[in-house]
Structure 1
């Protein structure tokens, strides 16, 4: 019988030790190998809501950390792109210009979408009252 860890939603020590390996790996196969479990075991564990929730929580933390790291370098990335605009290589210049234009347009679309969602949410709240 496997001992459950009561502080982590009833997950076993084996499950708790496996999750970081699974989350950090680039594929399920590699994660399972690093964790010392089979794919079948992982699929069985994923049927358990407690395991699935903890797995998702740790995966989300890793993703959030990666996004924070990327956000910290956004200014440098923008400066690098803008710095390439005066290049004599017309293909590179065109590619950089397209990247900048697409990024600005995507940002504008997201701003518009956020504004529209806010208006819809406000309208729905007013209708509920």
Structure 2
């Protein structure tokens, strides 16, 4: 089976076309799912807002519940948007040949890491350093 030219670490076998296609397919499916979830979240948020958050006609418990529900929905939508952006970025990197290259050090991210988390943009060493900050 032919190999793609995606970056790999020296201790890894090159990406096969089938492996790269599987990652691309997973990302494309995630993109469609995330777009759908964002539409649903927007609709849910609209429903929450239409129910009123100003407290008119609601007791304090209702107002608090509506606020909590709105905040949770906003947080969920923000997370979905971030995943959507990461997914679009990963697909773009697949397309331009930079997929698998760490954005900080320029070394290979690692094939196994990308198969587990296809949106990864940092190798494990750079990711550890980033999380320590």
TM-score (normalizing by structure 2) = 0.35
- Computing the radius of gyration over CA atoms, which structure comes out larger, 1 or 2? 1
Structure with higher RCO (Cα < 8 A, 6+ apart): 2
Judging by fraction of residues, say which structure has more helix.
1
